[in-house]
Amino acid sequence: MARKDLLDIASLHREEIEFLLDQSTSFKEQFTSSVKKVPSLEGKSVLMLFYEPSTRTHTSFEVAAKRLSAEVTNFDIAQSSITKGESVRETVETLQAMRTDYIVVRHGRSGLPGMIARLTKASVINAGDGAHAHPTQALLDAFTIREKFPNPVGKKVLIIGDILHSRVARSTSTLLKKLGLDVAYLGPGSLVPKYGPENIRRFTNYEEAMAWAPDVVYLLRVQMERQDVQFFPSLREYHRIYGITNDRLAEIRQRGLYIMHPGPVNRGVELCDAVMDYERSLINNQVENGIAIRMAVLDWLTPGGEAPKSEPTFERSFAQLPHLTA
Amino acid sequence: MLLLQNARIASEHSPALREGDVLIVEGKIQEIGTNLAVPEGARVIDARGRVLMPAMFDAHVHFRAPGFENKETITTGSEAAINGGVTGVVMMPNTRPAIDSAAVVAAVLDNAKLRSRIPVYTSGCVTKNREGKELAEIDGMRMLGVQMLTDDGDTTNDPAVLLRAMQYATEFGMFFASHCEVPELAGPRALNEGVMSYRLGIKGSPACAEEIIIDRDIRLARAAGAHIHIQHVSSKLGMETIRWWKSRGDVKVTAEVAPHHLLFTDEHIGDYDTNYKMNPPLRTQADCDALLEGLKEGVFDLIATDHAPHTPYEKAQDFISAPNGITGLDTALVSLYHYFVRPEKFGWDLVVKRYSAEPRRLMGLPVPTIEVGQQAECVLFDTEAETTFTKEFMKSKSQNTPFINQTLQGRVDMVILGTEILLEREQLVVNS
């Protein structure tokens, strides 16, 4: 099951997911030993191609790569310039000449890492593309939940917030469903699409969602910057309706629920300050586990192989449609 | 002199094909019958049951010149038309500069006279540079033969501007063609809002963005007493809106549908396949079904391809960066045969009526028929042969079509325009 790229969760098989989660467990065990480094990627190069600002994911990948003894290069992109597909292609063609083995890419445009993967022999890891996918986040979330629930089948995860623009919501819920967990959404009507996945329950108010008795409450970062037209009137109103207020935290504590958040948090919006000290907050566990997951992913992918074709893959989608073979 | 023997003749009036021989003399159909005598000096072609039909006319093409000759030129565009059995086209004005003045119209038409073997007509912009603000110099364009006014590629977004233009230009006998989409709702992404846009993580354009402008522009036309032509309808409710207005009968509405909107859904986009990115976007199977129903019922007066070439380099970008459009001239007639006529979803009469006769009526042009005394403007189509749409086969400068390297049933074997044989496939069996 050699794989060149990790672009999304949808294309991962159950066995691959289990394998990655198990591998992460052994990498994590390494963290507490005196020698944190393993030599598995010695002599390999990892290129960090971040077109969107990111401290956590960027650092997490960098630490993971270094603990695998890989050489890490940061390709600095001017954060202010809007980078269209055309110039990204040129960049990738340049990078190809540098013979890097792995490219970790984050970009605001959905589907762009897939385009890069078709252009290069290097293994491409999607570190977040637009509202499309964030596979390593999903894996670290699943890993974090599995640490608390060794048999997570049937456990319930309530995801609260901006589902529409969230690649985390897409990837994490896809992965949790694949692992047999139950997922539900809660958020403003303008940010939870009606045409979203059919197998995911949708709640319209907090009380109803709590009555569903979730095991984990997963808060999404409210991203004001992605909103070209306002989706809700104010952050204060958002917090009142969907945020974890002190009162709601008391209820969560009483029910013994876990709280997760992909970070960085907006205090006073998704959650109140007290949540940061909540004993069942897994937010820091997520950060730590992120390194183990990314080590497992880097260790697992196989760069090289067939040079992929640069043209869009029309044949594939065409052939899949029975009504067209009339 | 050309004698076509054993043809099956199609017309817009009947789904049945009439078998017979057709004698063409000096570009005119002189005789139709069975077992016609071979006149001396005539070239004889045994059509062996191929379908002989009036040549097609495409009322919606983007030939990209001036300004984007890397995508298409008048030459390559018109050759793609001939390759697909089309002998007349109407260009859209979203060139650079936009076709918004007599000077640009003159340049385009002069260029076409030199570089095209078929008549090329052009529409003109409603507003200067298609910006939706100032009116273009409409009568100047009319004097050079422009009849259709459109800001195609975009909606003329300010209803007051469009209403004024309609009130003004209708007096000169011109009509309006609308690309219908509320830009604030649609966004720039050319992807249907729905399950697929959610899965791909790209902001979608809801069908209501189209429905609203279809309804709005028809109402404006009614208020102005104008003729409104609705372009490339993609949605079920869009079709139903037009049907409702047509049933009222108090406004002149015509409408077109594109083959790709009948054939493909947003699901075809699969893993960000940019060949399925066009504007208006592909929607759902329910929309395809409704559009087909609308076509059969006559809600759509015509089929037009919205032939929109883009270079491989542009289309090989990520889905969001890649430009909107699909080519259609090389493939339309064969795909209509393969997916609709052959499985008997509709007959040749519909193809002839909607892709040959009605678009010419829209443009006030004579309608060719296979009848004695008519000019020969016809296509010989082999239903037994196949066409593989390789890069080499297609004459368009661009190959942004999902049909690339696909093999479909049916082949355009010969295209005749008056005294000229514009196209004759090598494979055609010829008796001398």
**Which three-class secondary structure state does DSSP give residue B17?**
strand
pLDDT score, position A319: 38
| Whether residue B413 lies in the annotated active site | no
**Strands, E, within chain A: which ranges?**
45-50, 71-75, 102-107, 123-129, 156-160, 182-186, 201-203, 216-219, 258-260
Which residue carries 């009439």 as its tokens? B18
d(CA A161, CA A138): 16
Asked if residue A263 belongs to a known ligand binding site, the reply is yes
Domain positions in chain A are 14-133+287-306, 136-283
pLDDT score, position B290: 98
Domain at A136-283: CATH code:
3.40.50.1370
Tens digits of residue pLDDT in B67-94: 999 999 999 999 999 999 999 999 999 9
In a 10 Å sphere around its CB, with 0-12 CB exposed, 13-18 middle and 19+ buried, how is residue B319 labelled?
Answer: buried
Asked if residue A240 belongs to a known ligand binding site, the reply is no
Q: Which residues are registered as beta bridge partners of A203? A: A186
CB contact under 8 A, A109 and B406: no
* Closest-CA distance of chain A to residue B27, Å: 37
pLDDT score, position B399: 96
pLDDT score, position B375: 97
CB contact under 8 A, A313 and B270: yes
- Helix H segments across B249-317? 259-263, 285-297, 312-315
What is the average pLDDT across B128-157?
A: 97
Q: Which amino acid is at B366?
A: P
Degrees to nearest 5, angle at CA B388 with B385 and B390: 150
| Structure tokens given for B335 | 């795909």
CA A58 and chain centroid, separation? 12
What residues of A are in the B interface, CB distance below 8 Å?
10, 84-86, 88-89, 109-112, 114-115, 129-133, 164, 167, 170, 193, 195-197, 228-229, 310-318, 320-321, 323-324, 326
The residue among B387 and A35 whose pLDDT is bigger is: B387
Taking contacts as CB-CB distances below 8 angstroms, the residues of chain A near B405 are 315
Asked whether the predicted pLDDT for residue B109 surpasses 70, the reply is: yes
- DSSP letter for each residue of A141-179: HHHHHHHH-SS-TT-EEEEES--TT-HHHHHHHHHHHHT
Domain at A14-133+287-306: CATH code:
3.40.50.1370
Which residue carries 């090598």 as its tokens? B426
pLDDT band at B431 (very low <50, low <70, confident <90, very high): low
- Residue of A111, A310, A314 lying closest to B200 (CB–CB): A111
| Number of residues assigned to chain B | 432
d(CA B172, CA B161): 17
d(CA B285, CA B265): 6
d(CA B318, CA A35): 42
d(CA A237, CA B165): 45
Asked whether the predicted pLDDT for residue B283 surpasses 90, the reply is: yes
Helix (H) or strand (E) holding B23: strand B14-25
Taking contacts as CB-CB distances below 8 angstroms, the residues of chain A near B318 are 85, 88, 109-112, 114-115
Asked if residue B60 belongs to a known ligand binding site, the reply is yes
Torsion of CA B360, B361, B363, B369, to 10 degrees: 30
Structural domains of chain B ordered from first start: 2-52+371-390+406-424 (2.30.40.10), 54-362 (3.20.20.140)
pTM of the predicted model as reported, rounded to 2 decimal places: 0.93
- Residue of A115, A129, A314 lying closest to B275 (CB–CB): A314
> Lowest-pLDDT range, A52-56, A58-62, A319-323, B271-275?
A319-323
The residue among B346 and B321 whose pLDDT is bigger is: B346
pLDDT band at A312 (very low <50, low <70, confident <90, very high): very low
CB contact under 8 A, B318 and A170: no
B321 contacts: CB under 8 Å, gap ≥ 6: A84, A85, A86, A109
d(CA A325, CA B26): 42
Tens digits of residue pLDDT in A27-76: 999 888 888 889 999 999 999 999 888 889 999 999 999 999 999 999 87
Asked whether the predicted pLDDT for residue A311 surpasses 60, the reply is: no
What is the average pLDDT across B265-293?
A: 96
| Number of residues assigned to chain A | 326
CB contact under 8 A, B270 and A316: yes
* Closest-CA distance of chain A to residue B358, Å: 27
Tens digits of residue pLDDT in A252-283: 999 999 999 999 999 999 999 999 999 999 99
Asked whether the predicted pLDDT for residue A316 surpasses 70, the reply is: no
For residue A3, which of A108, A99, A106, A123 has the smallest C-alpha distance? A123
**Which three-class secondary structure state does DSSP give residue A320?**
coil
pLDDT score, position A52: 86
User: Over the range B68-103, which residues count as b (16 or more CB within 10 Å of their CB) and which as e?
Assistant: beebbbbbbbbbbbbbbbbbbbbbbbbbeebbbbbe
CB contact under 8 A, A85 and B272: no
**Which three-class secondary structure state does DSSP give residue A10?**
coil
Tens digits of residue pLDDT in B30-70: 999 999 999 999 999 999 999 999 999 999 999 999 999 99
Most distant CA atoms of chain B, gap in Å: 68
Tell me the CA distances in angstroms from B291 to B102, B303, B330, B407, one per residue in order: 36, 11, 22, 25
d(CA B157, CA B340): 35
What is the average pLDDT across A6-14?
A: 95
Helix (H) or strand (E) holding B175: strand B175-178
Asked whether the predicted pLDDT for residue A119 surpasses 60, the reply is: yes
A284 contacts: CB under 8 Å, gap ≥ 6: none
What is the average pLDDT across B361-374?
A: 98
Q: Which amino acid is at B183?
A: P
What is the average pLDDT across A116-127?
A: 93
pLDDT score, position B106: 98
pLDDT score, position B379: 98
Helical pair A283-300 and A135-148, crossing angle rounded to 10 deg: 120
Taking contacts as CB-CB distances below 8 angstroms, the residues of chain B near A86 are 313-314, 317, 321
Asked if residue A221 belongs to a known ligand binding site, the reply is yes
Asked if residue B405 belongs to a known ligand binding site, the reply is no
Torsion of CA B258, B259, B260, B261, to 10 degrees: 60
Cβ B381 vs Cβ B53: under 8 Å: yes
Mutation for testing the A interface, residue in B205, B289, B321 having most A CBs under 10 Å = B321
Tell me the CA distances in angstroms from B395 to B65, B93, B388, B390, one per residue in order: 16, 22, 13, 10
pLDDT band at A96 (very low <50, low <70, confident <90, very high): confident
- Residue in B151, B287, B306, B349 annotated catalytic: B306
